[in-house]
Structure 1
């Protein structure tokens, strides 16, 4: 397959330090050409450190040093110390390597840092010696926030959880709030956490779904014993094995029967005592319409809910309910069905769909509900054809991740002394400016759908009809 040129594109920033890319699966392979396209840096100063041989030929064709060396608790300092010093950059796209350990390493050495999710050491997601609360994304985020409390608000910038989601969708939320304000005649110039939270409260945004539908299809169907996906199989399996999690809104009246609250931290989220990849949830996107997604845990479900919380002393005045509602490609749904049937023992064979994709789009956006205009979906509708024209080594899903990674790196280079930063705390306009050319159609559309619309006419349910955004006992699907 022929690919577009790497060299053509606007250089947003010049970087003189070294760059280490940790992990080189599908996302790493797609990110590297975009770094070379949009960051003015010396390719000789880029090193890939990864756990296996995937992507070696692609990296070496671009003149990039490629090292196979899995990182562990015992060896990560020894391996990274010769490669990174003050003013350098660690782009962490790995799995099974502790994000917190890497952040602490970078902070000590004055190294800029970015990741796409907060990872524990290998096995941390599925360690049954830990309680559901302890192996949640909530707990991982709280450990990182505690690191920030210890180190302060300055020091080398560490951008955490900045891919498509978590990451890009936090910027979509801010743009969606501004759009709704404009379309309902509300003057809005929010700044800081309290300003954005006050705007969301004023607009009566009770619920935010990260609503994603992937319709990409392949000419090589999934085989028995194979897990097929359009992005990292290991990453999807890990997060799907965690408890389902959601930011818990101040308006909610019916607590889920199998839910738990955390005994520590900000209190913005709850968890369910079941896997996220085994929990279905109703949602809506513009092309697909209503669908059943999976309530997979993601960092943005917690960080957005926390960021948009209004407090008076210890009292919560306002907080939206926030969660992911993910319908992956159909082959991935079949893979999940098989995985659940095997008691969540991951299939031996794994395949990332790339060149074999024949058609389809990834609709990735945020669905804001409860406001005066009903529902508003804002996000990216990117087809496989568009993705292939825009950048090499991409499908529609990966490009929605890789360009936000590069945008986050650029923002960190432009703001190198901000300490630890979550996506919600960054300049959404700057990130959207950089990513917009790679997102296909940026769509904002209103609708009148609710989760109760046309629900189960043949089998009556005990639901609270006074509020279309809630279900008694949280009967999600």
Structure 2
């Protein structure tokens, strides 16, 4: 009999409830079955979509058709989960904070890939723009953080999630390449001082998705390689970024917060209408959308140096995303209809997996400001490699699922850490588990900067003295 070629990391005796069974939910179960000693009967999938039951049956896991709401989430929790179980929350429109509170009381492990509010939060006209930001959602989590309790890993997929560990690996690699003394780094301050020593001024989560399908997008249809409702929600949120201490040009549409840790800012415009210049190794420079993401806040907060209550060093951090061609076209159409048309309806959403014919997802972090040039470190995963690895996946979903798998295993090994963000986890532990599923993972230096080839046809307001000013990076 052939031996199992996949490492079984540990046995889990409890029940695993996967809440939400879209692209990531379908992607994660084969990985859990591959690397945990569990029986399919220990896993329960809960989804509001009846059509997802077919895949659950093919995988041999229990399926419950239920839409979890404000009104029924507590009875649902009591029915499904007890001490020692694990809730993997991969849903949208269900409050992460409310679920975590129940997990802490009942001693249930928890993980999500994004901090979610209840359905309707992002379109609630009674809420001000700063109240509809990821910063506000994170502040609610931070208020619960630091207390003893069952481990709850928040915002740990690919991005947010793996990219925080990419940043640490990139800093380590750059320290080596700059002939800096390399020593063990254990605390946030250790990493912050290293980033400062390397003169890192800005960090982009730079992602370009080139996956294409055999079925063209139709008018009125929103197509994407990952959760369509999730992307639509992010797209209409205010653009958010962390503001570096090197910045000299305050944007006219930028605002500070009047609550919380004040580690980031927001622009009074949606991320889907805000573009920035960035770079990835396979495809070079491009204009990406400054979509709000949790890691743009948590990474900068983690890498901040404070003295007597004042921040003396912090890099500018934000997402720069070029979605797949069909998603980019969908986003432009959605923008033009002011985010209010029928594209919000599920029957007009299409998640592409099986009909992808080529392309890859190039996801990494671009660290800028060092004397050797900008440095990108990350994953280059093609659809063909993704399909060889795991069923029910495309390149995007496998990157996220790898991050979820690694964090689930970490939580099982360290079950009493309370609420933790990706930066709190051991980056070497996480990357060791995730790397086999990420395709080519490597680092690249580049001499690109956002002033390259500028002002050849038009005069622009730029700052020649420092390429890494947000003024130069933003597309106006």
Both proteins in one fold, TM over 0.5: yes
* Alignment partner, residue 163 of structure 2: 169
Instruction: Identify unmatched segments of 5+ residues in structure 1.
Output: none
2:93–2:119 contact (8 Å) kept in structure 1: yes
* Alignment partner, residue 199 of structure 1: 194
* Alignment partner, residue 364 of structure 2: 365
* Alignment partner, residue 414 of structure 1: 413
3-state SS, counterpart of residue 369 of structure 2: strand
Quote how far apart the aligned CAs of 1:471 are. Answer: 4.6
* Alignment partner, residue 426 of structure 2: 427
More divergent stretch after superposition (53-62 vs 89-98):
53-62
3-state SS, counterpart of residue 279 of structure 2: strand
TM-score where L is the length of structure 2: 0.97
1:284 aligns to 2:279 (yes or no):
yes
* Alignment partner, residue 449 of structure 2: 450
Quote how far apart the aligned CAs of 1:61 are. Answer: 2.0
Quote how far apart the aligned CAs of 1:8 are. Answer: 5.3
3-state SS, counterpart of residue 462 of structure 2: coil
1:8–1:37 contact (8 Å) kept in structure 2: no
**Any residues of structure 2 matched to 1:61-76 within 5 Å, and which?**
61-76=58-73
RMSD value over aligned CA atoms?
A: 1.3
2:164–2:299 contact (8 Å) kept in structure 1: yes
* Alignment partner, residue 461 of structure 2: 462
* Alignment partner, residue 123 of structure 1: 120
Q: 1:198, 1:39 → 2: CA distance?
A: 38
Q: 1:107, 1:203 → 2: CA distance?
A: 39
Q: 2:453, 2:367 → 1: CA distance?
A: 20
Instruction: Identify unmatched segments of 5+ residues in structure 2.
Output: none
TM-score where L is the length of structure 1: 0.96
* Alignment partner, residue 142 of structure 2: 145
**Any residues of structure 2 matched to 1:166-245 within 5 Å, and which?**
166-188=160-182, 189-245=184-240
Aligned length: 469
Quote how far apart the aligned CAs of 1:353 are. Answer: 1.0
Q: 2:404, 2:55 → 1: CA distance?
A: 19
Q: 1:473, 1:372 → 2: CA distance?
A: 18
Quote how far apart the aligned CAs of 1:253 are. Answer: 0.9
Quote how far apart the aligned CAs of 1:268 are. Answer: 1.1
* Alignment partner, residue 300 of structure 2: 305
Q: 2:31, 2:273 → 1: CA distance?
A: 35
* Alignment partner, residue 390 of structure 2: 391
3-state SS, counterpart of residue 371 of structure 1: coil
* Alignment partner, residue 83 of structure 1: 80
1:159 aligns to 2:175 (yes or no):
no
* Alignment partner, residue 30 of structure 1: 27
3-state SS, counterpart of residue 132 of structure 2: coil
Cα shift readout 1:289-334 (whole Å, capped 9, x = no counterpart): 0001100000000000000000011111110000000000011110
3-state SS, counterpart of residue 11 of structure 1: coil
Cα 1:219–1:313 shift into 2, 3 Å: same
2:250 to 250, 255, 261: 255
Quote how far apart the aligned CAs of 1:55 are. Answer: 2.3
